[in-house]
Amino acid sequence: MMHFQVVIVGAGPVGGRLATELAASGISTLMLEEHAEIGRPFQCAGLVNPPAMDMVGLHETILQNVDGALIHSPTGIQVPVGSPGEIRTHVVCRKRFDQGVVRQAMEEGAHLWLLSKPLDATVVDDGVNLLVEREGEKIEISCSLLVGADGAHSWTRRHFKMGKPKEMMIGFQTDVTGLSGKENWLEMYTGRDVAPGLFAWVIPSGQGTHRIGVWARPQELEGRSVEQLYDALLSHPLWRERFTGMKEIARYCGPIPCGIVKKPFKDRVMLIGDAAGMAKPTTGGGIGPGFRQIELIASELINAIESEHLLAADLAIICNSYKAMRKEQDRARALRDLLVTLPADDELDNIFTMFNRPEILELINVKGDIEHPVPLGLTLLKRVPEFRKLALKAGIKILFA
Ligand SMILES: Cc1cc2nc3c(=O)[nH]c(=O)nc-3n(C[C@H](O)[C@H](O)[C@H](O)COP(=O)(O)OP(=O)(O)OC[C@H]3O[C@@H](n4cnc5c(N)ncnc54)[C@H](O)[C@@H]3O)c2cc1C
């Protein structure tokens, strides 16, 4: 039976990133990818923040840089956040980005099996025995550690009954041509009609193309589909003129798991990335948090693999570092609920009116960090008298969560 120290199920960006770290330390690593090609199909707006991009240095995959966001209230109040020339985030070609990450892993010595997926996995005393389907053929292999990096509907998470992410949003997106807009700026749209509880987006993706999408929590859909929300955005009386004349060239839909599962590990098994519920409840971005997760655990995990300390108790110590991430996720979610998800449209408009004051905009631009929205949120709650009332509503839960 072929043996690898680590088998990673799923060669997406997060699985590829971990494989790079492990293989670079001489750990024999196999990535299993069920598709014939890396990075296809993808469901992503392609936003990768500068720290995550710097970790992999795949700047050649950038299609467009984004300096700011123009946020629209339900009745059309516009709040601009950002400054021209100051890059807030990158828009990448996800296919090339994922391929670049996985290529880096292979250059470090990791193996990749395409058209391959696990059919069964059993934890035994000294490892994990796997039955894998590889290009239609059944093969038995074994490993010391099995890592589930297999996305939102993770087979690994379900097979080992490792719980569920706190929230599972649904995203829908199209690629279009023929839309104009402020260069280097993305737009966000709010309101019960078009994006109940969250927001819709229009993102420039280079060479005259844009990505238009919307995401929502299932409980906010009230019988509608996310596709219907998208249609509602395009036909909304305030904005429909903006969307006339554009041409759709692709559409896709996918889940976004936000909320780290309670115990993303078992004896010799662990979850990373979307499989573990790493995406941010404020933006749905999963690449940055996934990379950060790898950064946090890599060196301890490598030591544990080398010394064969891979039982649940050992992995629990390694995953201790998620506590801070989980806490930040919980606080960000509470702030999101307070400022975006729970308010009715008229309350949202009031919040936008407050945001639009010059001193608040300045605060947002100085302190605002889309990656870490909590410090800005807390500052706003403390400094802006009107927000204090909201803070009281949210109470201690947010401030001391
Ligand atoms: C509409 C939409 C827009 C988004 N926009 C952004 C954005 O702009 N920025 C951002 O950071 N995030 C965004 N996300 C989230 C982002 O796509 C994910 O967080 C990110 O891809 C997670 O990476 P991952 O490697 O954990 O999982 P994935 O990218 O899902 O990779 C998992 C891999 O595992 C493979 N796989 C799955 N099951 C098996 C199996 N049983 N056997 C073998 N292989 C398997 C899959 O084929 C895939 O290649 C968006 C999501 C959606 C739905």
Indicate whether residue 258 lines ligand 1 (CB < 6 A): no
CB contact at 8 A, 180 and 304: no
Same domain, 120 and 34: yes
Query: Is the domain of 247 the same as that of 192?
Result: yes
| Ligand 1 nearest atom to the CA of residue 49, by list position | 11
* Domain residue limits at 295: 2-44+94-165+260-320
Same-domain status, 385 and 306: no
| Blockwise average pLDDT, block size 10, the chain, 401 residues | 96 98 98 96 90 97 94 93 88 97 98 98 97 98 98 98 96 96 91 96 95 96 95 96 94 95 97 97 95 97 98 97 91 87 92 86 74 73 74 57 48
φ, ψ dihedrals at 73, nearest 5°? -80, 170
Residue 155 within a domain: yes
- 229 and 335 within one domain: no
Give the burial class of 243: count Cβ atoms within 10 A of its Cβ; 0-12 exposed, 13-18 middle, 19 or more buried: middle
> In this structure, are 281 and 138 located in the same domain?
yes
Q: Rounded to an integer, what distance in angstroms lies between the CA atom of residue 266 and that of residue 256? A: 23
| Residue 111 and residue 153 in one domain | yes
Q: Angle at Cα 392 formed by Cα 196 and Cα 346, nearest 5°?
A: 35
Last residue of a domain, one of 274, 301, 320: 320
* Number of domains composing the chain: 3
- Kindly state whether residue 53 falls inside one of the protein's structural domains: no
Is 55 within the bounds of a domain? no
Whether 382 is covered by a domain: the verdict is yes
Helix (H) or strand (E) holding 211: strand 209-216
Considering the domain architecture, whether residues 312 and 264 belong to the same structural domain is answered as: yes
Residue 105 within a domain: yes
No. of helices (H) and no. of strands (E), the chain: 15, 18
- Helix residue ranges per DSSP H, 155-239: 155-159, 218-221, 226-234
Q: What is the pLDDT of residue 146?
A: 98
Atom of ligand 1 nearest to the CA of 152: 30
Mutation choice for ligand 1 from 34, 173, 294, CB with most ligand atoms inside 8 A: 34
**The pair of three-digit structure tokens given for residue 206, joined into one six-digit string:** 């280079």
In this structure, the dihedral spanned by the alpha carbons of residues 354, 359, 365 and 370, taken in order and rounded to 10 degrees, is -30
Is residue 14 within 8 Å of residue 287, measured between CB atoms? yes
Write out the H or E segment, with its range, that includes residue 24.
helix 13-24
Q: With H, G, I as helix, E, B as strand and everything else as coil, classify residue 233.
A: helix
CB contact at 8 A, 224 and 106:
no
Whether ligand 1 lies within 6 angstroms of the CB of 213 is answered as yes
Tokens linked to 351: 């919040």
User: Are 294 and 316 within one domain?
Assistant: yes
Residue 101: predicted pLDDT: 98
Quick one: CA torsion of 275, 278, 281, 285, rounded to 10 degrees? -90
Last residue of a domain, which of 232, 257, 282?
A: 257
Asked if residue 371 and residue 238 are part of one domain, the reply reads no
- pLDDT score for 394: 60
Ligand 1 pocket, 289 CB below 6 A? no
Whether residue 57 lies inside any domain: the answer is no
Report d(CA 359, CA 357) in Å as an integer: 6
CA distance 222 to 217: 10
Do 230 and 181 share a domain, yes or no? yes
106/35 same-domain check: yes
Asked if residue 130 belongs to a domain, the reply is yes
Distance (Å, whole) CA 208 – CA 229: 24
Q: What spacing in Å lies between the alpha carbon of 95 and ligand 1's midpoint?
A: 11
Domain holding 159: CATH number?
A: 3.50.50.60
Here the tokens at position 171 are 């995203």
**Would you say residue 393 lies in a domain?**
yes
> Could you give the CA distance from residue 132 to residue 127 in angstroms, rounded to a whole number?
15
Residue 346: burial class (beta carbons within 10 Å; 0-12, 13-18, 19+)? exposed
272 vs 313: CA distance, rounded Å: 17
What whole-number distance in Å separates Cα of residue 58 and Cα of residue 65?
Answer: 14
DSSP secondary structure string, 105-140? HHHTT-EEESSEEEEEEEEETTEEEEEEEETTEEEE
For ligand 1, mutation pick of 256, 269, 270, 272 (most atoms within 8 Å of CB): 256
Specify whether 21 is located in the same domain as 123: yes
